[in-house]
Amino acid sequence: MSDQYILQHCSPTLAGLKTANLFSVVIDEDSDINEEIRRLNKLLRGKGLCAIPVRKTDNNVLIYLYRPDYLKRDLSSPDAVEILEEKGYECDNANRCIVQLIEHLSKDGSFPHEIGLFLGYPPCDVRGFMNSPKKGVKCSGVWKVYGNKEQAEKTFSRYKKCTEVYCRCYEQGRSLDQLIVKTGA
């Protein structure tokens, strides 16, 4: 997993603009994915981030790169709690919710719709998607929007610009470590 690949998929989270990103890494016989995740976490930990594998197949691993403080905030909103409780989550602890998400990912061949809450998507948009993935969509970008279209479009634009800037800075010699914004305690 190259630093450039991580930047292409996670720049908004690395910049502190977004709660989390998911990205998939192909497993080949020459790489030790657990060692790669440990290496990545050495960079992330001191800056308020964490990366964990959430689903593994024979060919790839899905990695969840997130800001624990942001996730705790997002999952404590009343709307998020309501959705998660409906799906059987115990909402008293964000880490426990991640464990339960991993369980849902392993049981379900598709993605559980509530995963949007773990990525920082607005609960009203997660709820809209859960109710009807096609009905009532106002626009699509990083996620499908059922609520505030204007705000979402601004957010999509910020994420796109962030990724462009981060990738350009990396190409100009800045390291992944230099590009990660430190947040939290």
CA-CA distance, 44 to 68, in Å (whole number)? 11
Of all helices (H) and strands (E), which one includes residue 11? Answer: helix 3-14
- Specify whether the CB–CB gap between 4 and 176 falls below 8 A: no
Give pLDDT tens digits along the chain (185 positions). Answer: 788 999 999 999 999 999 999 999 888 776 788 888 999 999 898 899 999 999 988 888 999 999 999 999 999 999 999 999 999 998 889 999 999 999 988 886 677 889 999 999 999 999 999 988 889 899 999 999 999 999 999 999 999 999 999 999 999 999 999 999 888 64
